[in-house]
Amino acid sequence: MKLHREGTTIMITALAVTIALGLINSIFLYHHSKAISIGIDLLLLVMLFLVVQFFRIPTRHAVYAENQIICPADGKVVVIEEVEETEYFKDKRIQVSIFMSPLNVHANYYPIKGRLPFVKYHPGKFLVAWHPKSSTENERTTIVISNDKGVEILVRQIAGAVARRICYYGQEEEHVEQGGELGFIKFGSRVDLFLPLDTKVDVKLEDKVQAKLTSIGFLS
């Protein structure tokens, strides 16, 4: 396991604050109440651990089958339905949405390999991730991947009430690898996939999924 570069500044700041508050605690409180002082130290360490674990990146290796769509994010499947995708496709697609809690790994990965014909960032609101309008009104990034057969799928990173920073790394016309790093959503939120209607979907509602390991389905 390693720590993601997107968390470097936050983790250094959290460490500095923990050390500073720990020193203040030991100087002013330890001699008055050892129990309370030790409790504060433990609380500071737990908070530091939680901040660090937000940016953990576990080592994962998998072999993918032809036409397989791999999961782009850790979390829980909260939506599987046929919808009208209005930004890029402007037609019916299967939407699969994955909710990322603050305890999940927050890195996102490309579900298939191919070319990026469309990449667009949208500033927006910070509604809770399960709000019906979060996918169209929240801060979000839309990324379309076209495979070597010209089949396209859309990945949308969506910020939420806690997640206030979306990072994405791909540029239009860039070629990307399946399982390559797509981006990062700080402190979790939601990732939507929009798939062709004839996609064979492997996941079910409420499934807990893992990026790069869980199969979302197969393209026809």
Q: Are residues 99 and 133 in the same domain?
A: yes
Residue the block writes with tokens 């509604």: 127
The per-residue pLDDT for range 164-201, each reduced to its tens digit, is 578 899 999 999 999 999 999 876 689 999 999 999 99
The per-residue pLDDT for range 80-121, each reduced to its tens digit, is 999 999 999 999 999 999 998 878 888 999 999 999 999 999
> Is position 166 within any domain?
yes
Q: Are residues 88 and 189 in the same domain?
A: yes
Q: What is the residue range of 17's domain? A: 2-57
Q: Are residues 206 and 169 in the same domain?
A: yes
What's the rounded Cα separation, in Å, for the pair 175 and 116?
6
Candidates 186, 208, 205; CA nearest to 71 is: 208
Catalytic residue among 33, 189, 215, 220: 189
| Active-site annotation holds for 189 | yes
Q: Are residues 154 and 186 in the same domain?
A: yes
Give this prediction's pTM.
Answer: 0.80
> Is position 49 within any domain?
yes
What's the rounded Cα separation, in Å, for the pair 176 and 3?
22
Residues 6+ apart with CB under 8 A from 220: 67, 196, 198, 199, 200
The answer to whether the CB of 166 falls within 8 A of the CB of 134 is no
Q: Are residues 110 and 152 in the same domain?
A: yes
Q: Are residues 45 and 132 in the same domain?
A: no
Domain total in the chain? 2
Q: Are residues 150 and 104 in the same domain?
A: yes
Q: Are residues 145 and 42 in the same domain?
A: no
SS3 content of the chain, % helix, strand, coil (to 5): 20, 35, 40
Q: Are residues 86 and 47 in the same domain?
A: no
Q: Are residues 73 and 127 in the same domain?
A: yes
